[in-house]
């Protein structure tokens, strides 16, 4: 691990002042479960690491007029134990509990989950965010069994690693970002982005900005998450489906289906509920799954994910109905 300066400010103002204007020179540490690994692997070699652990305003869960506010430094364990979150957002609870490690739940944070870097093994082995050598894509020509099946026309073929992203998008959450230039709010669906070069990141955060909190509106929405994982494995899922909808005469109204681990960002399956009519049952839920898989363009080694998408969406819908 390369030596670096360590700072642990006690306020947001101090923290933003310590951040640079270029990616890589300064890194933010939340729980550290992703960053420490990246430092050891020399994926990133910053001159300064800024820890957010002493900033109290970034922690905690509160009920407000606009919904439930979750501080970015709230741990995943605290999120899963909160009674209001458990009551209104079972899709988030499933996503958190699927992580499956008591150590990660006690240390990992909500903001850290949303901002973690891709798990692509080309990237993690020092071959760049896009896994390229010159104009040659190592991902397309190599072992791509865990890579994207949507949004594969461009050079970014990794999958978003966030467990909470799909559920937060389906629930219509918004995120607050603070930097030296002020405060701004971003809808969760617009928080993730597809980088076009190794010098870019996978979110709309700028180098001098910090994700401070997430606000989830409380609505009468049925919601659920279904993950397809390796049996007994405490690893990232193969495919995730998070759904949210209101009930209208037994059918779905204003349905949202968001897929995880199938694209460089959480993938909004716009067609999933596009023609959903009548009561939601195993047959109609399966039809939603079929539509959610439309447009998939698998790589050479991951076509199996298409069927997983269909199944995950179907089972998420049935879980939400139940």
Q: According to CATH, what is the number of the domain 222-321?
A: 3.30.390.50
Cβ pair 118, 161 in contact under 8 A: yes
The whole-number pLDDT of residue 149 equals 98
Could you tell me which residues come within 8 angstroms of residue 72 by beta carbon, excluding any fewer than 6 positions away?
30, 52, 58, 109, 110, 111, 112, 114, 210, 211, 212, 213, 214
Sorted by where each begins, the domain ranges of the chain are 222-321
Mean pLDDT of 219-237: 87
The whole-number pLDDT of residue 118 equals 95
Kindly state the percentage of the chain with pLDDT values over 90.
Answer: 85
Confidence of residue 278 (pLDDT cuts 50, 70, 90): confident
pLDDT digits (tens, 9 = 90+) for 79-135: 999 999 999 999 999 999 988 788 889 999 999 999 999 999 999 999 999 999 988
User: Which DSSP category does 53 fall into?
Assistant: T
Cβ pair 142, 183 in contact under 8 A: no
> What is the DSSP pairing of strand 136-137 with strand 132-133?
antiparallel
The whole-number pLDDT of residue 233 equals 63
The tokens for 185 are 């709010």
For 102-106, 155-159, 256-260, which range has the lowest pLDDT when averaged over its residues? 102-106
Cβ-count burial 168-178 (b if 16+ within 10 Å, e if not)? bbbbbbbbbbb
> What is the DSSP pairing of strand 48-51 with strand 26-29?
parallel
C-alpha span between 256 and 268 (Å, rounded) = 8
Q: Which long-range contacts (CB under 8 A, 24 or more apart) does 22-28 make?
A: 22/207, 23/199, 23/200, 23/201, 23/207, 25/207, 26/50, 26/207, 28/52, 28/115, 28/210
């Amino acid at each position: 691990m390369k030596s670096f300066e360590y700072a642990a400010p006690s306020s947001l103002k101090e923290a933003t002042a310590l951040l640079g204007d270029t990616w890589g020179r300064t890194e933010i540490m939340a729980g550290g479960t992703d960053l420490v690994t990246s430092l050891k692997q020399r994926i990133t070699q910053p001159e300064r690491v800024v820890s957010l652990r002493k900033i109290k305003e970034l922690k905690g869960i509160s009920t407000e007029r606009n919904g439930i506010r979750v501080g970015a430094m709230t741990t995943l364990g605290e999120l899963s134990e909160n009674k209001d979150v458990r009551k209104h957002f079972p899709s988030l609870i499933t996503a958190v509990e699927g992580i499956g490690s008591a150590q990660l739940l006690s240390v990992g944070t909500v903001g850290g989950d949303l901002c973690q870097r891709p798990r692509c093994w080309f990237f993690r082995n020092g071959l760049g965010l896009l896994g390229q050598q010159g104009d040659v894509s190592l991902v397309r020509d190599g072992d791509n069994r865990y890579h994207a099946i949507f949004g594969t026309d461009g050079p970014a073929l990794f999958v978003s690693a966030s467990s909470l992203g799909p559920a937060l998008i389906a629930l219509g959450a918004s995120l607050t970002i603070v930097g030296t230039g002020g405060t701004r709010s971003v809808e969760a669906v617009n928080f993730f982005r597809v980088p076009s070069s190794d010098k870019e990141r996978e979110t709309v955060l700028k180098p001098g900005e910090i994700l401070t909190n997430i606000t989830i509106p409380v609505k009468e929405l049925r919601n659920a998450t279904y993950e397809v994982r390796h049996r007994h494995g405490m690893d990232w899922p193969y495919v995730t489906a998070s759904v949210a909808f209101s009930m209208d005469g037994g059918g779905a109204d204003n349905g949202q289906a968001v897929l995880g681990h199938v694209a460089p960002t959480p993938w909004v399956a716009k067609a999933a509920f596009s023609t959903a009519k009548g009561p939601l049952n195993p047959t109609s839920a399966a039809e939603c799954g079929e539509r959610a898989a439309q447009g998939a363009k698998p790589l050479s080694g991951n076509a199996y994910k298409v069927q997983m998408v269909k199944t995950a969406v179907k089972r998420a819908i049935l879980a939400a109905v139940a």
